[in-house]
């Protein structure tokens, strides 16, 4: 192109191309909005439901662990009480045997 050349523009063709581009862009934006809002929104809703289920399961597990912990503590207390009772019986038997032995020794010495 030389210095004297002019750019020839077909205004109708430019408007048609612009309208076509605008329509294509609008269609693409609509499709993107549908893709973005629909599945993503339902995905987040599903994720929220999943978190709720996990939270409920976690609460159930915490309740079960608490009950198991309480049962274990009760068993340990019961075991400790039985051990204490056994120790008392052993001590009483040991003391009784010692008293009987001492009496036997005294009886033999007195004879």
Is 39 exposed, middle or buried, given 0-12, 13-18 or 19+ CB atoms closer than 10 A? exposed
Q: What is the spatial distance between Cα 97 and Cα 89, in angstroms, rounded to a whole number?
A: 12
pTM: 0.41
Tokens of 36: 């973005």
Q: pLDDT, tens digit, for every residue of 7-42? A: 666 778 888 888 888 888 888 888 777 776 667 777
């Amino acid at each position: 192109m030389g210095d004297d050349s002019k750019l020839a523009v077909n205004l109708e063709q430019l408007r048609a191309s612009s309208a076509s581009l605008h329509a294509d862009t609008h269609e693409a934006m609509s499709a993107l909005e549908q893709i973005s809002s629909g599945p993503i929104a339902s995905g987040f809703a599903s994720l929220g439901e999943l978190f709720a289920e996990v939270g409920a399961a976690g609460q159930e597990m915490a309740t079960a662990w608490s009950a198991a912990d309480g049962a274990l503590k009760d068993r340990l207390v019961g075991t400790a009480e039985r051990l204490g009772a056994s120790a008392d019986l052993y001590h009483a038997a040991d003391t009784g045997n010692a008293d009987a032995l001492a009496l036997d020794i005294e009886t033999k010495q007195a004879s």
